[in-house]
């Protein structure tokens, strides 16, 4: 499928068009997070339901990811049942997955159209494991076609199928008092410790800084947040 070569931009306008096409209420929207210091975070509208980080894929990241996975397996880590996590199957759809993770873990707050594409996917995926959720998304033709249509309409790298992609999206959410990192390339949600709905943005920003600190010579980072519309 040609969709596999179409990455999404870390662009709130593009993301919002896609979310609305999937049936997400316009009560919620993605916005830019202009910085990770307290003054910049104070400008982000509240409440924040999810934080999405775009970062460069690199050897340093791959080493960190592999070590993290090894440590979790050794500890006998089990995926928490109340966290919606799906594995990435197709190439370059991590932006799609990041948005699905953002909404799926906040459906008690977010209104979905009863006949919308995302509502149907989430209903069908409810009792599946992460790998099966990923396969189901791969087979959800209507969702992938909507994704392709929106991404093709973008003006940046997401609109260029030939441009090599070296970036990746992950999502941070609050669930049951814990901060989880959701990455379609990882086997488990990563628990980063305590958080609250009110401190999610600040706590996620701290983890984003760790990603940046591992890449001191790279500037290819961007952060957006899922917030309530005014």
The tens digit of pLDDT for each residue in 76-88 reads 777 788 999 999 9
* Cα(72)–Cα(36) distance, integer angstroms: 28
The answer to whether residue 111 scores a pLDDT higher than 80 is yes
What is the structure's pLDDT at 44? Answer: 97
Say which of 94, 101, 174, 208 is annotated catalytic.
94
CATH code for the domain of 104 = 3.40.532.10
Question: What distance lies between CA 136 and its chain's CA centroid?
Answer: 17
Mean pLDDT of the chain: 89
Say which of 20, 64, 101, 168 is annotated catalytic.
168
Determine whether 94 is an active site residue. Answer: yes
Question: pLDDT by residue (tens digit) across 16-55?
Answer: 999 999 999 999 999 999 999 999 999 999 999 999 999 9
* Cα(33)–Cα(153) distance, integer angstroms: 23
Contact 189, 154 (CB under 8 A): no
Domain assignment of residue 31, given as a range? 2-228
| Domains held by the chain: number | 1
Question: pLDDT by residue (tens digit) across 165-195?
Answer: 688 999 999 999 999 999 999 988 999 999 9
Max Cα distance, the chain (Å)? 46
What is the structure's pLDDT at 157? Answer: 47
* Cα(32)–Cα(108) distance, integer angstroms: 24
Which helix (H) or strand (E) segment is 120 a member of?
helix 117-125
Determine whether 208 is an active site residue. Answer: no
The answer to whether residue 112 scores a pLDDT higher than 50 is yes
DSSP-derived secondary structure for 60-110: HHHHHHHHHHHHHHHTT----TTS------STT-HHHHHHHHHHHTTTTTS
Going by pLDDT thresholds of 50, 70 and 90, the confidence category of residue 89 is confident
What is the structure's pLDDT at 58? Answer: 85
């Amino acid at each position: 499928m040609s969709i596999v070569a179409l990455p999404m931009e870390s662009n709130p306008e593009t993301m919002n068009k896609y979310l609305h096409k999937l049936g997400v209420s316009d009560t919620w929207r993605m916005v830019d997070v202009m910085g990770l210091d307290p003054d910049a975070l104070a400008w982000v509208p509240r409440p924040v339901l999810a934080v999405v980080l775009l970062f460069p894929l690199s050897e340093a990241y791959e080493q960190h990811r592999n070590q993290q996975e090894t440590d979790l397996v050794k500890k006998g880590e089990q995926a928490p049942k109340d966290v919606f996590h799906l594995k990435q199957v197709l190439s370059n759809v991590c932006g799609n997955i990041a948005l699905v993770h953002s909404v799926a873990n906040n459906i008690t707050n977010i209104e979905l159209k009863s006949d919308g594409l995302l509502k149907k996917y989430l209903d069908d995926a409810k009792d599946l494991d992460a790998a099966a959720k990923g396969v189901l998304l791969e087979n959800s033709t209507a969702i992938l076609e909507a994704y392709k249509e929106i991404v093709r309409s973008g003006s940046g790298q997401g609109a260029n199928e030939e441009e090599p992609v070296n970036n990746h999206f992950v999502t941070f959410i609050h669930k049951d008092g814990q901060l989880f990192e959701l990455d379609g390339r990882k086997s488990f949600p990563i628990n980063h410790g305590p958080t609250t709905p009110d401190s999610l943005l600040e706590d996620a920003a701290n983890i984003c800084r760790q990603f940046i600190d591992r890449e001191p010579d790279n500037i290819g980072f961007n952060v957006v947040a899922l917030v309530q519309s005014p």
